[in-house]
Structure 1
Amino acid sequence: MKPGWRTLLLQGAEAVAVLPVFVTAPLFRSWHLRWGATEVEVASPLPGDGLVTTSHFTATRAITVNAQPEEVWPWVIQVGINRAGFYSYDLLDSLGIPSSNTVLPEWQNLRVGDVVAPMTAKPNPATSFVVAEEKFPVQLVWAKPDSSWSWRFTRLPGNRTRLVTRLKQHYRPGRSLLLTVPLLELADFPMMRKMLYGIKKRAEGNSMPGTR
């Protein structure tokens, strides 16, 4: 569904408000590359680490969700343009189309080799993330040339989940680097932080009765 002008106006105001975070992200690089994560989480290996042996950008971030791993998982695997969106700044990452607030059944049958988290309307399998590994509801590994994106869902007492995500990127010389470097060094942190909060909000709002 195309967004109305009021939605676009609100999204535009939100994007403008967060602009200083985009601009200053490089100044706080060492901090935001480990936002929310503990020392142990940053140092611990994650599945998929070996897919990118020389990483110029490694971001390990984490958040605690008051819902069980089985309730968090569906929100993660359905992200992407023409899917559920990225639960982030919709004007910037989904052309203003609002991110879904419901679990979409058509994107829940994830298999190794599937294209995942598409960032364009017509994803190219050669340059898009694909599922490299999936173990429900414990871990996910998405990979594309020179990049890996890993997720770990750790069950905590009180029916909670510790969600840890790691993005690794090798900066390969070429024209694509002109887009990749600004995207990661400026935009990745504010958008990923909002995405994690978006996952948390949705999973907690739809958790099963009696689990919070």
Structure 2
Amino acid sequence: MRRGVTVGASTAIAAYAALQVLGRVAGSTAAERRAVMPGDDLVDDPQMVTNHATTIQAPPEVVWPWLTQLGWHLAGWYTPRWVDRLLFPDNWPSLDRLDPVLLRDLEEGDVIPDGPPGTAEYVVSRVEPPRLLVLRSTSHIPPGWAEKYGARITWTWTISLTPTPDGSTRAHLRVRGRMAPWWFAAFYVATIVPGRLRHGPRDAARAPAARRGRPGARGVRPGGVLGTPRLATRR
């Protein structure tokens, strides 16, 4: 019995370690992981660094609009359906198409919600369409953890879209985070999957605009109230 428990625990630990490693480097090259990126300077001495990357068969100008509709109760984060259902049941499923109602021109200081009003959100720290988007957050803390454990977090998402000679896009997501207490970092592995973007921009570029929307989609007005489309509030 004891041997079975030991084997089971060892397997669980190994699986967790594998998920942590794969979740932090999925699709990225060693050169991409070594490269200095915009936003790196916003988190000193990070405990967590994630690099996800993929090649998309469309130019950056076609991929970029998909980034402008990111967010809670917007287009989601392009996570797999099972991740949406398991981890984000209160969110809408991530879109697999562009929605004209959700597209917007991002500017520095815009807020992208990652939960109900008053909870987690990202602030746009830097934006250079159609190549670069840097998001920063200090709000991704479970309710009550700041008071009970002294939890705090600073983390950034840098998404770069680099054109390739064949007209494709190399999409690279880097996440850097600094948390307290130290064990808080173990809970965070970025769940956005650039691979979900590979087919959407290519297919959407071929589809009629009328097929890209989601009837009845709503935006976020200033203050985070759901209603008429106002998709990124200003600080």
User: Structure 2 length as normaliser, TM-score?
Assistant: 0.67
Q: How far did residue 123 of structure 1 move? A: 4.6
Q: Aligned with 1:149: secondary structure? A: strand
Give the Cα separation in 1 of the matches to 2:118 and 2:44.
Answer: 25
Q: How far did residue 86 of structure 1 move? A: 1.9
1:8 aligned residue: none
Amino acid at match of 1:122: P
Amino acid at match of 1:203: P
2:157 aligned residue: 149
Amino acid at match of 1:199: L
Mapping for residues 1-212 of structure 1, pairs under 5 Å: 24-88=15-79, 89-91=83-85, 92-95=87-90, 97-105=92-100, 106-116=102-112, 118-124=113-119, 128-145=121-138, 146-173=154-181, 181-182=186-187, 184=188, 188=189, 191-192=191-192, 195-208=193-206
Give the Cα separation in 1 of the matches to 2:16 and 2:168.
Answer: 30
8 A Cα contact 2:122 2:135, kept in partner: yes
8 A Cα contact 1:131 1:143, kept in partner: yes
1:10 aligned residue: none
Q: In proportion to residue count, which structure has more strand?
A: 2
| Range with greater deviation from structure 2 (67-76 or 162-171) | 67-76
Q: Structure 2: give runs of 5+ residues left out of the alignment.
A: 1-10, 139-153, 208-235
Give the Cα separation in 1 of the matches to 2:181 and 2:205.
Answer: 45
Give the Cα separation in 2 of the matches to 1:90 and 1:33.
Answer: 19
8 A Cα contact 1:61 1:166, kept in partner: yes
Which structure exhibits the higher relative contact order, with contacts defined as CA atoms closer than 8 Å and separated by 6 or more residues? 1
Q: Aligned with 1:42: secondary structure? A: helix
Q: How far did residue 28 of structure 1 move? A: 4.9
Amino acid at match of 2:111: V
8 A Cα contact 1:81 1:120, kept in partner: yes
User: Structure 1 length as normaliser, TM-score?
Assistant: 0.73
Q: How far did residue 96 of structure 1 move? A: 6.0
Q: Aligned with 1:207: secondary structure? A: helix
Structure 1 residues 181 and 107: alpha-carbon distance in aligned structure 2, compared to 1, 3 A threshold? farther
8 A Cα contact 1:154 1:162, kept in partner: yes
Amino acid at match of 2:33: V
8 A Cα contact 1:25 1:32, kept in partner: no
8 A Cα contact 2:73 2:91, kept in partner: no
8 A Cα contact 1:34 1:61, kept in partner: yes
Structure 1 residues 94 and 109: alpha-carbon distance in aligned structure 2, compared to 1, 3 A threshold? farther
Structure 1 residues 27 and 81: alpha-carbon distance in aligned structure 2, compared to 1, 3 A threshold? same
Give the Cα separation in 2 of the matches to 1:26 and 1:123.
Answer: 33
8 A Cα contact 1:139 1:150, kept in partner: yes
8 A Cα contact 1:90 1:99, kept in partner: yes
Q: Aligned with 1:33: secondary structure? A: helix
Q: Which has the larger radius of gyration?
A: 2
Amino acid at match of 2:201: A
